[in-house]
Amino acid sequence: MPNQLCLHINHQLAILNRARTALPSHLADHALHAVLKNNKLIIYTDSALWASQLRFFCPVIKESIEKAYFLSLNTTQIKIVRLPTLEGIKPNRSVAIPSQSVINEIRDQSRLCTDAHLKKSFLKLSNTLDRLRIKNNKTA
């Protein structure tokens, strides 16, 4: 059984390499996997952008695979495979929170504003900065 799996994987890698040789170098790296199933060639790529580019080369890829393996393919299909992402991992960022005197100055400026929208924005900003400053002091 393990030998059959190795043979199957090697066959898929050979098909992928043949498909890549038919592609321009900038596209070849985006052909990630190739599967041949029931006279249908499926090539997997990492994004919709590359999929649309690869679709233009389907006839060339198909011809290359057919010549190399003496096959007659019915269709060639490009599919997108979602690569694992780093979701849930937050970058280690630090935010520079202004000093209390700067926050107070923003609040004082809000009181002097005649424009109601700007006044509200300054007050909201000063309240948010106060809240962040308190939170930051608790964790420090």
pLDDT in tens, the chain (140 residues): 567 888 888 889 999 999 999 999 989 999 999 998 888 999 999 889 899 999 999 999 999 999 998 889 999 999 998 766 655 555 566 678 888 898 898 888 888 888 888 888 888 988 999 888 888 777 66
85 domain-assigned: no
User: Whole domain around residue 110: which residue ranges?
Assistant: 100-139
DSSP for 75-100 reads: EEEEEE-PPP--TT--------PPPH
Task: Say how many domains are in the chain.
Answer: 2
57 and 23 within one domain: yes
2 domain-assigned: no
25 domain-assigned: yes
65 and 111 within one domain: no
Query: Which pLDDT belongs to residue 89?
Result: 58
The C-alpha atoms of residue 115 and residue 2 are separated, in whole angstroms, by: 75
75 and 11 within one domain: yes
65 domain-assigned: yes
The domain that holds 56 is classified in CATH as: 3.30.300.180
Whether the full predicted model's pTM is greater than 0.75, yes or no, is no
74 and 117 within one domain: no
61 and 15 within one domain: yes
18 and 54 within one domain: yes
58 domain-assigned: yes
Q: How many residues are there in the chain?
A: 140
76 and 25 within one domain: yes
Q: Which segments within the chain are labelled E, that is strand?
A: 33-37, 40-45, 75-80
Domain boundary among 47, 80, 113: 80
